[in-house]
Amino acid sequence: MNSKPLHIRLFDEVFSGTGIWPAVPAIIVLTVVAVIPFGVLLSLGFSDIVVSRGVIVSQELSLRHLATALADPLYHTTFQRSITLALTTTFFCTLLGFPVAYLFLIGGPWVRRIILVLTIAPILTSGIVRTYAWIVILGGRGVVNGVLMDLGLISAPLRIINTPWAVVIGMVQIHLPIMILPLIAVMSRHDRRLDEASANLGASRLGTLRHVILPLSVPGLGTGASLVFTLSYTTFVVPQLLGGGNYLNAATMIYEQVVYSLEWSKGAVTAMILMATCLIVLALFAWMTHLATGWTRVAQR
């Protein structure tokens, strides 16, 4: 029997670093910053509220906002646009990120260092600053138009800024590092002897890339794609600034509903739809990753 007094035993238990205790601080933080706000969001979305001077004076259960939102064509087009934008961003980030990761894999120590610096440095700069940089680059009197006109390739400035493509370009640049980092993590664990074995068995570099490196990178691709999708699906800075204020995606819509028209319940419903659709796409990504990594789950001997 343990003869120590209760408070000592409790102290031992809490600080022993076993069981659930080490997770307690994280649980508390998550409760405060995620669970409680989510509860508030749910309660706002599923009720009619009367706000007076910024304070809720009455609140009763109602599915009215959800029903209106689901029937509203504006919602359909906005969410369609958001998903398309996020998927396009994810697609281009994968397309551009994988070659960088491959370069990291085959490169020497200096190539690796340079790639790491070039990947991490942009993350240390604020996304808003980088987005403003794109305004300078893509604008009517920006660098791109300047060069093209100097070369005589165009006579009048192209309209790049304030178009959906400007948004895509900005989004891809902002989110590319998020794609590259998990891929690099996978690549730095990759066993190069497998590539040698593949070449020895007759595979070209492309064959090795396709049949060995790519399948073994799937976990990194899955993580990267999920992160990029989530971030680009829910961002409002880039679409707001590069889309010229008339590019409405789901996040900008929530922003307007909550900040400008003060329709909190409407905003809450939009946010819930955003979250639900995001989870569906993430589940889809997870399922695809799962299918491609069956070999990692075979019964170990």
What residue ranges bind other proteins (CB under 8 A)? 191, 193-194, 196-204, 207, 211-212, 215-216, 293, 295, 298-301
How far is the C-alpha of 170 from the C-alpha of 290, rounded, in Å? Answer: 31
User: How far is residue 145's CA from residue 158's CA, in Å, rounded to a whole number?
Assistant: 6
Token pair listed for 43: 């309660």
Report the SS3 class of residue 57. strand
Q: Which is nearer to other proteins, 179 or 212 (CB)?
A: 212
CB of 97 to other proteins, least distance (A): 21
Smaller CB separation from other proteins, 37 or 215: 215
| CB of 290 vs other proteins, minimal distance in Å | 14
Nearer to other proteins by Cβ, of 109 and 202: the residue is 202
Closest approach, Cβ 180 to other proteins, in A, equals: 22
Residue type, 232: S
**Least distance CB 300 / other proteins (angstroms):** 6
Q: What is the DSSP string of 224-250?
A: HHHHHHHHHHH--HHHHHHTTT----H
Closer residue to other proteins (CB): 7 or 193:
193
Backbone angles phi, psi at 53, to 5 degrees: 50, 45
CA distance 216 to 221: 10
Helix axes 164-189, 127-138, angle to 10 degrees: 130
Q: What is the DSSP string of 138-156?
A: HSTTSHHHHHHHHTTS-SS
Q: How far is the CB of 221 from other proteins (least distance, A)?
A: 14
Cβ proximity to other proteins, 5 vs 294, nearer residue: 294
Asked if residue 133 lies in contact with residue 174, where contact means CB atoms within 8 angstroms, the answer is no
How is residue 85 written in tokens?
């934008």
Least distance (Å) between residue 297 CB and other proteins: 10
Cα separation, 139 vs 76, in Å, equals: 30
In the complex, minimum distance from the CB of residue 182 to other proteins, in angstroms, rounded to a whole number: 18
44 vs 195, beta carbon nearer other proteins: 195
Q: What is the DSSP letter of 300?
A: P
d(CA 86, CA 238): 12
The nearer residue to other proteins, 73 or 294, going by C-beta atoms, is 294
Scan for tokens 């204020």, then name that residue.
245
Residue carrying the six token digits 């959800």: 66
The CB-of-215 to other proteins minimum distance in angstroms stands at 5
Which one, 160 or 183, has the nearer CB to other proteins?
183
